[in-house]
Amino acid sequence: MTKLVLALGGNALQLSDGPDGIEGQQYAAGRTAAQLFKLAADKSISLAVTHGNGPQVGTELLRHDKAKDVATPFPLDVLDATTEGYIGYVLQNAFQNALSLSADVRSFVSLVTQVVVDKEDSAFQNPSKFVGPVYDYETAKNLEKEKGWVFKEDKGRGYRRVVPSPMPRRIVELDAIRALMDVNIVPITVGGGGIPVIEENGILKGVEAVIDKDLASSLLAVELKAEQFVILTQVDKVYINFKTDRQQSIERANLDYLKELYDEGHFPAGSMGPKILAAIKYLERVDGQVAIGSLDEAEAVVRGVAGTIIYR
């Protein structure tokens, strides 16, 4: 049986042609489940599904700030858990509905997951993870003064709030994830990168941060010794010189070539960079295969006939 960690990008939950709010996320999740129907029903694949939460946790931060005069705002780690829970429900519901007419019914379980980070991680002094909506320069500056938030330019889009994004070190609920997969139940896990916690004398404590979901998914794939690690996103392949007149797609690559391109700065931190780093970290520890491609071609990407395929 092939172990597969499937990381869903933001377009799995937010589509430009759908309604707004939770209805929009349910609509997008339904389309995602339809794209992944054959994979989800294939019991020869031991499957774990992960997802992002950047826009959603940013919205929750905004919602809690707006309501602070009538209700005490939650800290960021609790909002990570909140969004992981409700996004997991939306995806779980969509997958189960998509498979409801299948003769081979399979169960999906949303698992709120803690991920240990290092309290000395330099990310806490240099926030870098984009969350929430896009603002123009003046609005971002005013919010910085008013709320003490940190903003950076999201290249080509505008300005977004950034929060610390420490490296994931250990997945607390790993044994539960393995147990579910061993009986062919699909865990929806490390959502949004998981809930960041630090460990002191065996005690876990949440911290204000957001873990990159691709890096957390990579760690999960390593710990599970998964033969395949697949990242589904908005682009059909990995490109160098993206959106320039020298744009070039990468069909196949080995680890050394990918590391060379990454070190040369071909992949921006705000877009493809974390996905490439996630692929590198996985392939440095597991002799498996990474595929990066479009959600619209999900099955073909997993089968290795679309997207970018990366091997050791």
Residues designated as active site: 10-11, 129, 213, 275
SS3 state of residue 90: helix
Contacts of 156 (CB under 8 A, 6+ apart): none
User: Cβ atoms within 10 A of the Cβ of 203, count?
Assistant: 8
* Of 198, 184, 194, the residue nearest 50 (C-alpha): 194
Contacts of 77 (CB under 8 A, 6+ apart): 195, 196, 197, 206, 207, 208, 209
- Nearest-angstrom CA–CA distance, 58 and 79: 9
- Nearest-angstrom CA–CA distance, 310 and 312: 7
Question: What are the φ and ψ backbone dihedral angles of 153, each rounded to 5 degrees?
Answer: -75, 125
